[in-house]
Amino acid sequence: MSDAPALFLDGNSTRVRCLIFNAALGPLDYRVPAGMTVEPGSVVIAPLGPRQIIGVVWDADRLPATEVPEGRLRPLLKVLPVPPLPAPLRRLIEWTADYYLAPLAAVARMALSSNAALQGGSTVTEYRLTGKEPGRLTPQRLIALDLLQDQQATIRELSEIAGVSDAVLRGMVNAGLLEPVVVDSDRPYPAADPHFAAPDLSEQQAEVAARFVASVRAREFHPFLLDGVTGSGKTETYFEGVAAALEAGRQVLVLLPEIALTETFLKRFEARFGVPPVTWHSSLKSSERRRAWRSVSSGAAQVVVGARSALFLPFADLGLIVVDEAHEISFKQDDGVRYNARDVAVMRAHFEKIPVILASATPALESLQMAEAGRYERVVLPARFGGATMPHIQVVDLRVEQPERGHWIAPPLVRALKDRLEKGEQSLLFLNRRGYAPLTLCRTCGYRFQCPNCSAWLVEHRLSRRLACHHCGHEVPPPDACPECHEPDCLVACGPGVERIADEVAEILPHARVALVTSDTLTSPAKAAEFVEMASNKAIDVIVGTQLVTKGYHFPELTLVGVIDADMGLEGGDLRAAERTYQQVAQVAGRAGRGEKPGEVLIQTRHPEAPVIEALASGDRDAFYEAEAEARRDAGAPPFGRWAAIIVSSEDEAEARDAARGIGGSAPRLDDVLILGPAPAPLSLLRGRYRYRLLINARRSTELQRVIREWLDPLRFPPGVRVAVDIDPYSFV
């Protein structure tokens, strides 16, 4: 595919325009030296002052002109040995930069997400255990032998896995305990087979799958909202779309929230297609990233399952995009380029001219609205597969059914837990709060442990014996005495975290086997797999977990779900609080009764009359969404109006405040744009930076981005001030 003519400014010039990866500079012009050929999308090395810098040749007619005379242009140094970024991806990068008010180069950089891949193919030397009988072992070698079973990686990666130095590993190579294996860094992945194990679909599933298959074959932009209750077989159904793309020899991208990207999902994919998919997420080793990136860009990678950053991979021939759990807010990136992967996925499908499937049991109001407006095709799976029934939901009013002092599990839930244990069935308790207690204070003087870098309390983690800030990672060991009044043994924990709930379960059911499932305990895919294995084999009676357990898991013996505090999400100033609570509780409730035995859900709340709790109790999703839509319409909130946030921060409080006031003072006065603030952010100190916020609310028809651009572009700030714009914000702290 060569669209070379768009490249040159005039017929025989060898001048090209490049995005260069330097945050401070816009596109620059370069000369193409004799003997070098480039086209739009070519990845190049360009000179910048005394340095060499990576850049991408861009379509000159889509960028503002520069005025450097021909004679002063510097020559490009090198074209990197990777395919040029394809035109649909370049259009997506432009759209993303424009919509989210981000620098073009910053977005383009997200597509070049493996430095190693840009250097071309090569071989790497990896090492693995030989299995040779070791003689006398140092403790470090003993550890390495244990941790490196079934591992093959470079010395550096192995040293990270085993937590021992390179020198220890080199010593093991010399002793014949580790052996080198030379591998091609671009070796192909085994081929997926679309017919490997096709399921017998129910009639409803088959109808939905047929829509996907037809759409993949039609090769046209077509957004679907796959709206199906938990356990209805959404995955099986969109897998048919994946199979159709495989048959057509085209590539597929499946986006999952990072927490749903589990071993379970990969196993399921393997069971359907015979091989695991190519994965893309933040904890890939550098060699794995390189291999994945290169095979995506060559077209060899068939199916990529990844977290949101996979969205900007340079697919050679994409045929289908799936966004699973599409309502998840973790698709919204809140640093760097602040984009929403769900929305950008739809735009990518638009530019690639392919279908996109947004799958969810609890779709975002925005997505339902798009379906209502006829922009997305809504396909529905209204019932669980195989006759499993939806769980029975019951509300526990905590004002009436009070837990014992210092406890959080109310009598009805205690009884239900005991009942399941007697029957040998499993229970799940959900509380979306890591650690033991969210606040620790001194009984004598009232001193509260606060993070020095953030306006947040330190959370006690009893298992790892520390007080930790969940915003910046600051942590201290719990002191023996109060730092303020020096009274010994006076610290009290306030409120529950999952660790404390697990303790309470141990107290109520001393013989139950309890598993704590949070990002602190499931720290690796191996640990997650171990948990799934134990839960499936009925080696666990009660699971206590955070949102990590709300999705993806399918345990047939799990018949009771208890929601410890359904009100937690409703506090605070989040404008989507009710919707989020609905989604979270409905998702965790969806874990109950997935097998033959019916499930029961107990929701503990102090506000049983809140519309969201009533909707959950009666299972009347439509009524909830209607009421929520009504409230949003009245407030001019998305999807009926538009929001943007401006976040101003500095290490110097006065500087941040002055900058925010400066922005507020120069705000445009427009009839259909409402500007709130500046005001100190709820998290007024974060990682040592003082923060102020403005919230902009506009009609849908307003060109919000243009308004903000014209407002902020002329303003100048001291170097210590950061001004971030968040279009369609999800976070308000």
Q: How far is the CB of 688 from Zn ion (least distance, A)?
A: 8
Please say which residue, 364 or 454, places its beta carbon nearer to Zn ion: 454
Work out how close the CB of 444 gets to ligand ADP at its nearest, in angstroms, rounded to a whole number. Answer: 51
Site residues (vs Zn ion, CB under 5 A): 451, 453-454, 469, 471-472, 474
Specify the amino acid at residue 151.
Q
The answer to whether 671 and 647 are in contact (CB under 8 A) is: no
- The verdict on 204 binding ligand ADP (CB under 6 A) reads no
User: What 3-state DSSP class applies to 634?
Assistant: helix
Q: Which is nearer to ligand ADP, 205 or 302 (CB)?
A: 205
Q: Which stretch binds ligand ADP (CB under 6 A): 193-201, 274-282, 347-355, 540-548?
A: 193-201
For residue 481, the 8-state DSSP code is: B
Is 485 part of any known ligand binding site? yes
Instruction: Specify the stretch interacting with ligand ADP by CB under 6 A; choose among 5-13, 212-220, 223-231, 410-418.
Output: 223-231
Q: State how far the Cα of 422 lies from the Cα of 183, in Å rounded to an integer.
A: 54
Strands (DSSP E) found in 5-154: 15-20, 28-31, 43-48, 51-58, 78-79, 123-129
* 236 binding partner (options Zn ion, ligand ADP, none; Cβ < 5 to 8 Å by kind): ligand ADP
**Cα–Cα distances in angstroms (integers) from residue 634 to residues 535, 609, 628, 631, 639, in the given order:** 46, 21, 10, 5, 11
- Of 27, 194, 233, 677, the residue at the interface with ligand ADP (CB under 6 A) is 233
Does position 109 bind ligand ADP by CB under 6 A? no
Phi then psi for residue 436, to 5 deg, are: -95, -45
**If contact means CB under 5 to 8 A according to the sort of partner, which of Zn ion, ligand ADP, none does residue 597 touch?**
none
Q: Using an 8 Å Cβ cutoff, are 73 and 41 in contact?
A: no
Binding to ligand ADP in span 451-470, by CB under 6 A: none
Residue 482 marked ligand-binding: yes
Q: How far is CA 625 from the centre of its chain?
A: 24
Please give the torsion angle defined by the CA atoms of residues 299, 300, 303 and 309, in that order, rounded to the nearest 10 degrees.
Answer: -60
Judged by CB under 6 A, which stretch of 199-207, 399-407, 438-446, 484-492 contacts ligand ADP?
Answer: 199-207
Q: How far apart are CA 438 and CA 461, in angstroms?
A: 9
Q: Does 385 bind ligand ADP (CB under 6 A)?
A: yes
Closest approach of Zn ion to the CB of residue 454, in Å: 3
294 touches 280 (CB < 8 A): no
Q: Which of residues 664-703 bind ligand ADP (CB under 6 A)?
A: none
Nearer to Zn ion, 474 or 722 (CB): 474
Stretch that binds ligand ADP, among 234-242, 246-254, 443-451, 527-535 (CB under 6 A): 234-242
Helix or strand (DSSP H, E) at 110: helix 104-111
Piece of the chain touching ligand ADP by CB under 6 A; list 201-209, 412-420, 470-478, 612-620: 201-209
Q: Which is nearer to ligand ADP, 6 or 206 (CB)?
A: 206
The side-by-side arrangement of strands in the sheet containing 377-381 is 278-280, 303-306, 251-255, 318-324, 355-360, 222-228, 377-381
> Would you count residue 199 as binding ligand ADP (CB under 6 A)?
yes
Nearest distance in Å: CB 449, Zn ion:
11
Residues 6+ apart with CB under 8 A from 159: 165, 166, 168, 169
Q: Please identify which residue in 40, 223, 228, 641 interacts with ligand ADP, judged by CB under 6 A.
A: 228
Q: Does 205 bind ligand ADP (CB under 6 A)?
A: yes
Q: Among residues 117, 147, 473, 55, which one has the least CA distance to residue 285?
A: 117
Shortest distance in whole angstroms from residue 473 CB to Zn ion: 7
> From the centroid of its chain, how far is CA 660?
30
Helix intervals (H) in 122-231: 139-147, 155-162, 166-174, 203-218
469 binds, among Zn ion, ligand ADP, none (CB under 5 to 8 A by kind): Zn ion
Please give the residue whose beta carbon sits closest to ligand ADP in the complex: 233
Is 18 part of any known ligand binding site?
no
472 labeled part of a ligand binding site? yes
Q: Is 469 annotated as a binding residue?
A: yes
Residue 233 and residue 381 in contact, taking contact as beta carbons nearer than 8 Å:
yes
Which range binds ligand ADP by CB under 6 A, 5-13, 36-44, 200-208, 696-704? Answer: 200-208
Tokens of 345: 């996925």
Residue with the two structure tokens 């990678």: 301
Choose the one of Zn ion, ligand ADP, none that binds residue 412, judging by a C-beta under 5 to 8 angstroms depending on kind: none
Q: Which of 96, 114, 215, 235 binds ligand ADP (CB under 6 A)?
A: 235
What is the torsion angle, in degrees rounded to the nearest 10, for the CA atoms of residue 410, residue 416, residue 422 and residue 425?
A: -120
The DSSP result for 224-236, as a single string, is EEEEE-TTS-HHH
Give the one entry of Zn ion, ligand ADP, none that residue 235 binds, where binding means its C-beta sits below a cut-off of 5 to 8 angstroms depending on kind: ligand ADP
State which residue, 209 or 458, has the beta carbon closest to ligand ADP: 209
Position 234 contacts ligand ADP (CB under 6 A): yes
Q: Which of 114, 215, 230, 251 binds ligand ADP (CB under 6 A)?
A: 230
* Pairing mode, strands 641-650 and 689-699: antiparallel
262 binds ligand ADP (CB under 6 A): no
With a CB cutoff of 8 Å and minimum separation 6, the contacts of 540 are: 426, 513, 514, 515, 531, 534
Tokens of 23: 């945050």
User: Is 451 labeled as ligand-binding?
Assistant: yes
- Closer to Zn ion at the Cβ: 117 or 469? 469
CA angle, 261 as apex, 255 and 266 as ends, to 5°? 100
- The residue written with tokens 């679909």 in the block is 201
Identity of the amino acid at 78: K
Give the number of residues in contact with ligand ADP, rule: CB under 6 A. Answer: 15
| Cβ distance to Zn ion smaller for residue 460 or 541 | 460
360 binds ligand ADP (CB under 6 A): no
Which of 126, 236, 366, 726 is close enough to bind ligand ADP by CB under 6 A?
Answer: 236
Among Zn ion, ligand ADP, none, what binds residue 152 when CB lies within 5 to 8 Å by partner kind?
none
314 contact choice in ligand ADP, Zn ion, none (CB below 5 to 8 Å, kind-dependent): none
- 257 touching ligand ADP, by CB under 6 A: no
Q: How many CB atoms lie within 10 A of CB 299?
A: 15
Q: Is the CB of 352 or the CB of 520 nearer to Zn ion?
A: 520
Rg of the Cα atoms in the chain: 28
Residues annotated within a binding site for Zn(2+)? 442, 445, 451, 454, 469, 472, 482, 485
- Summarize as ranges the residues that interact with ligand ADP (CB under 6 A): 199-202, 205, 228, 230-236, 385, 554
